[in-house]
Amino acid sequence: MWAGLNLGEDDLPEFGNRLAHKRWWYPFEMVRACTLVWLFTGLRADEICRLRVDCIKWQKDDLVVAGSHEVVTKDTVCWLNVPVNKTGRAFTKPVDRIVGEVIDDWRRVRPDHRKEIDHKSGEMVEYLFSFKGRRISMDYLNHTVIPMLCRKAGVPQEDSLGAITSHRARSTIATQLFNAKEPMSLFELQEWLGHRYASSTQHYAKVKLTKLAKSFTQAGYFERNIRVVEVLLDQEAVKSGAAVTGEPWRFYDLGHGYCSYDFFDQCPHRMACAKCAFYVPKESSQAQILEGKANLQRMLQEIPLSDDEREAVEEGIEALEKLSAQLADVPTPAGPTPRQLNENRGQVNFIPSSSIQRVPSRN
């Protein structure tokens, strides 16, 4: 693209006797217009060769976008009439104004030509890229324009995708428009490329890895499946050696109370606490003494959730009851099952772990 935008007369390939004055078969203005049409319009080679001399229409007035109050101010884009192609009828599409400018530059110096028959449509037409009775061929892009641009840019004519051919610009533009910050939808891209079927457009509209990564991040898969719980560490119990003798020293904040089980993250009841022997209610004197300690250290721990647990956390009481019912006969780390604990207490045993929060976004 840089080479095309900075094309100079010296970049044109020479023809004829090298000792004679440099001569080019086609005028510079025509080569430049052809090059920028290739780079910016996403047309097929055949469509470029068959563009009519009057293919550009300038947008002279502000345009209100149908169904909205948005306005496309005049001269933002110009309109390109694309001739009938292999899969569809002639159509018009917006293109960057630089395309219109270089075509106008060429038209200003272009000699008039007799009309020729377009074998696709049967019409008598005046081709845009024609000079001294010779219209550019489909090979002109592959054998002249692309080698010229690669030479100027100092890049090889092949890369990891293979040889750079006339189709490369079309596929690159399609990918870029689909992956733009405010991308074209697949339907819009289909219209712009002149495809009859959306499946053809999908072939071009490859999602870039960076966009895929962004969409994946925004989908929050990681955050959806991770919750954060605050943990209180009783440093006094650690320093005094009480922790070694089995005294609780790590307390997971469940909102309504603390879980003093060291391996809380492995407890099957962690999202609907069954209040086993490791449970410390917040209103208990043990919890109040703990909270009053000066050297209490607070930290956050991320807990990965199962699908049922995520549902229970996100979808409320019904999902929570369902989870509790599933776990009714699963032993707690302290031994008894929730059903046994419930029978002993004569009350509903589960309590949602209400202070366990969705993990903050890492963006």
Judged by phi (left if over 0) then psi (alpha if -120 to 50, else beta), residue 256 lies in alpha
Nearer to ligand SF4, 100 or 333 (CB): 333
Per CB under 6 A, 332 contacts ligand SF4: yes
Per CB under 6 A, 141 contacts ligand SF4: no
Per CB under 6 A, 136 contacts ligand SF4: no
Residues 97-126 that bind ligand SF4 (CB under 6 A): none
CB of 294 to ligand SF4, least distance (A): 26
Q: Which of 99, 274, 305, 312 binds ligand SF4 (CB under 6 A)?
A: 274
Per CB under 6 A, 227 contacts ligand SF4: no
What are the start-end ranges of the H helices in the chain?
2-5, 28-41, 45-49, 97-109, 138-140, 146-153, 167-178, 186-193, 198-204, 209-219, 221-224, 235-239, 285-292, 307-315, 317-326, 338-345
CB of 161 to ligand SF4, least distance (A): 55
Judged by CB under 6 A, the stretch of 76-84, 157-165, 218-226, 271-279 that binds ligand SF4 is 271-279
What are the start-end ranges of the H helices in 242-306?
285-292
The DSSP-derived string for 311-358 is HHHHH-HHHHHHHHHHTTTSPPTTSS-HHHHHHHHTS---EE-TT-EE
**Residues whose CB falls within 8 Å of the CB of residue 344, separated by 6 or more in sequence, listed in order:** 336
CB of 273 to ligand SF4, least distance (A): 3
Per CB under 6 A, 269 contacts ligand SF4: yes
What's the DSSP call for residue 84?
P
Per CB under 6 A, 251 contacts ligand SF4: no
Per CB under 6 A, 229 contacts ligand SF4: no
Judged by CB under 6 A, the stretch of 24-32, 202-210, 262-270, 311-319 that binds ligand SF4 is 262-270
Nearer to ligand SF4, 80 or 259 (CB): 259
Per CB under 6 A, 278 contacts ligand SF4: yes
What's the DSSP call for residue 209?
H
Beta bridge partners of residue 23, listed in sequence order: 15
CB of 301 to ligand SF4, least distance (A): 13
Site for ligand SF4 (CB under 6 A): how many residues? 15
Which long-range CB contacts under 8 A does 215-221 form with residues at least 24 apart? 217/362, 217/363, 220/361
Per CB under 6 A, 259 contacts ligand SF4: yes
What span, in angstroms and rounded, lies between the C-alpha atoms of 195 and 82?
12
The DSSP-derived string for 111-153 is PP---EE-TTT--EE-BSSEETTEEPPHHHIIIIIHHHHHHHH
What does the chain come to in residues? Answer: 363
Per CB under 6 A, 249 contacts ligand SF4: no
What span, in angstroms and rounded, lies between the C-alpha atoms of 229 and 264?
10
Per CB under 6 A, 232 contacts ligand SF4: no
CB of 183 to ligand SF4, least distance (A): 46
What span, in angstroms and rounded, lies between the C-alpha atoms of 237 and 193?
70
Q: Which of 170, 227, 250, 270 binds ligand SF4 (CB under 6 A)?
A: 270
* SS3 state at 64: strand
CB of 244 to ligand SF4, least distance (A): 20
Point out the residue whose Cβ comes nearest to ligand SF4: 259
Nearer to ligand SF4, 14 or 343 (CB): 343
Per CB under 6 A, 333 contacts ligand SF4: yes
Q: Which of 45, 174, 273, 303 binds ligand SF4 (CB under 6 A)?
A: 273
Q: Which of 276, 303, 312, 319 binds ligand SF4 (CB under 6 A)?
A: 276
Q: Radius of gyration (Cα) for the chain, nearest Å?
A: 35
* Closest among 10, 5, 207 to 102, alpha carbons compared: 5
Per CB under 6 A, 264 contacts ligand SF4: yes
CB 62 within 8 A of CB 73: yes
Which residues form the interface with ligand SF4 (CB under 6 A)?
259, 261, 264, 267, 269-270, 273-276, 278-279, 332-334
